[in-house]
Structures are given as C-alpha cells and as structure tokens.
Chains A and B, each alone.
Chain A
C-alpha cells in the first residue's frame, strides 16, 4: 500500500484565490510527522509546513495551513491568497517514528496559478 497518496496530478487556481492540495497517508505508527514541500522548476525543495501526529492544533505558516484530520488520515495543504510565485510542484511527505529511511514522499501535485 502506498504510504502517501496525492490524487491531484495537476491543479489550476486563479490568483488571489485559496486552493487546497489533498494528501492522505497510511501508517500504523502512533508517532509520525507530516510535511509539505514546494519544488519550483529550479529544483530546490522548499520546506513549507510541518504537523506532528500529537499536535492538536492545525499547523499554520503565513499563507500556508495544514488541515490535519487524524481519523481520516488526511493532511491537506491550504494556500490562501494564491500568488503567481506559488506555481510549482508540491509534495506531501511523512516520516514514521524515528527511522531514517521511513521518510515517504507522495507523487506530487503540480499547481498552476493563473493571472
């Protein structure tokens, strides 16, 4: 079974609107972390936001918020007030427990922001 599933290969959003990128995960560990990274065409993976499995409140970082629904095993990224510079590939990732190699990436969502 896939550990991280991103079902939206591509998304379009109008500039200044909000957009939600979906991510579901699969783990039986109690301790895990969920991440979102942005990867522009230049290639660099930019860390956006982190949610720990024991965190009760949804993580927020500026225009980014993570909609964490533990029972549904979903960790959707919400970008408010989209900007043209938000056009990029977005990866959801999960780390289980404390093992190095248990760091899993989803297949990514390509977001295009239209002017």
Chain B
C-alpha cells in the first residue's frame, strides 16, 4: 500500500482565518514533505521532516507553520494567508531520508479570498 492521504481536498479561507492541512501515511515512512504548486508550474519544496524533526525550511513565510506530531502525521497550520498563497499543497513521504522515491498525496486545493 503506497498511500498518502490528505485532508481536506479543497479549502477556501479568508485572510484572517486559521486553518490546518493534514497529511497521513501508514507505510512506516520516516521522511515527510510539504510542497506548494501553482497552476501549470512544478512543485516547490516548503518543508521536510526527518524522523519527526524539521530538517528543511525553504525560507517559507511564518504564516505557514508545519507540525509533525508523530511519524504518520504531518500538519500544515495556516494563519493570515494572502491571496497569492492560493495553490495546490502536496504532501509526500519517503521510506527513509536516504531513500530516493517519494510518494505523493492527492493534494489540498487552497483558495484564499
């Protein structure tokens, strides 16, 4: 089973709202990633967690706050977003940090109004 799940599928939020995106995998993978993807563009790396610790933060604004409560779960907390943050947010997992292959979830389509 190579499944990564993400909820919600779609999210519309105002600029003053606080919301969270959730990503889950039960493959025992120990590295998890958040990507942001604008329309017709490739994914851009945001954060990487390795063994539940934040390893990479690609200069992402503080209005995005990642959290990894356990090895199966990855959250992305959103606060005071801007309309330009509207995008597809993809989660991916990897068996180990040293593995090559990443498995992606279906994504959350976020619209900020």
Contacts and interface: CB of A to CB of B under 8 A. Distances in A.
Contacts of A42: 106
A47 B104 contact: yes
Q: How large is the interface on A (under 10, 10 to 19, 20 to 34, 35 or more residues)?
A: 20 to 34
Interface string A72-115: 00000000000000000101000100101101011110000000
A44 B106 contact: yes
Chain A contact surface mostly: strand
Interface string B72-105: 0000000000000000101010000110111111
Contact of B40 (A46, A50, A100, A108): A108
Given A45-B104, A50-B101, A107 B31 contact: no
Given A52-B100, A101-B48, A43 B106 contact: yes
Contacts of A44: 104-107
Given A42-B106, A100-B48, A100-B56, A47 B43 contact: no
Contacts of A43: 37, 88, 90, 106-107, 109
Contacts of A52: 100
Contact of A47 (B90, B97, B101, B109): B101
B101 A35 contact: yes
Interface of A: 33, 35, 37, 42-47, 50, 52, 89, 91, 95, 98, 100-101, 103, 105-108
